[in-house]
Amino acid sequence: GRRSLIITTIDRAMHAALLSSLALALLNPPKLSAGERAAVDSRAATLTSRRDVLSLSFSGAAAAAAVGRWSLASAAASESVAVPPEIRRLAQKAKALRAFVRSTAATTRKSSNAGTYVSLAARVQEDKEAVLLPLQAALAAYTAKTSLSDPELQKQLGLQPLLMKGHLLELDQALTEFKFDEYVSKTTGDTYPGGKVERELEEVCETLDDFFELAAGRPVPQRED
């Protein structure tokens, strides 16, 4: 679906960025102590997935690239542009909306109007227009004018508005189908009393968490779909 396409695009962009970093590191590798090389080789020996390989690849070359990325991340943290208060305000509202859907959907199922969800869907649609869409636009505007020292973190930061746009498209579909019935994720096993709508809102919130970390020059964890 749309979300898979976005993730595939991110993978390709990150892979291209990694190859560029490795090439630069091979041309001008930093000096490593015996302890630093041992630590990197130990990390390389534990790689178990394609994403792990992309994050620390080809042992010797990876050592040079890794040290370079660590120093760039430190510099990025001090050079990042302050996130506007409006983005933080809207982000708090987005998280409040997710909590509201989680509690209200369960209450609705216990009421005489169980299964209708009309009022709840209208509320989410209203907040999408007033909060989520302006928030996505604000993220796009921020990333367009922000430059981090670490090129990989910069690429990931720039992808956050696109990821959020994809989650909003999925949210539209879930709203159209009134998917507020309790939902259990096949990937994580987590239960969502607010259904697929809540799950998409959670993904919006996770994207926001990643955005704030990246804007501060910090790497973010790999999340399960």
Q: Give the pLDDT confidence of 66-109 residue by residue, as tens digits.
A: 444 444 444 444 345 689 999 999 999 999 999 999 999 988 88
Q: Residues 182, 221, 218, 42: what is their CA dihedral angle, to the nearest 10 degrees?
A: 170
Domain that holds residue 128: 85-215
Q: What integer pLDDT is reported at residue 221 of this predicted model?
A: 85
Q: Final residue of a domain: which of 29, 53, 79?
A: 79
In a domain, 222, yes or no: no
How far apart CA 81 and CA 66 sit, in angstroms, is 24
What residues have CB less than 8 Å from 99, skipping those under 6 apart?
none
Domain boundary among 79, 105, 139: 79
Q: pLDDT digit string (tens) for 109-139? A: 887 665 589 999 999 999 999 999 999 999 9
How confident is the model at residue 75, as a pLDDT?
A: 44
Domain count, the chain: 2
Minimum mean pLDDT range among 1-15, 144-158, 164-178, 183-197: 1-15
The answer to whether 131 and 94 are in contact (CB under 8 A) is yes
The reply to whether 61 and 89 lie within a common domain is no
Whole-model pTM: value is: 0.65
Q: Which of residues 212 and 54 earns the better pLDDT score?
A: 212
Q: Which two tokens stand for residue 172?
A: 């539209």
The two structure tokens encoding residue 136: 């996505």
Indicate if the alpha-carbon torsion angle 224, 53, 143, 1 is positive or negative: negative
Residue 186 pLDDT > 80: yes
Q: Are residues 97 and 183 in the same domain?
A: yes
Across the range 211-225, mean pLDDT stands at 88
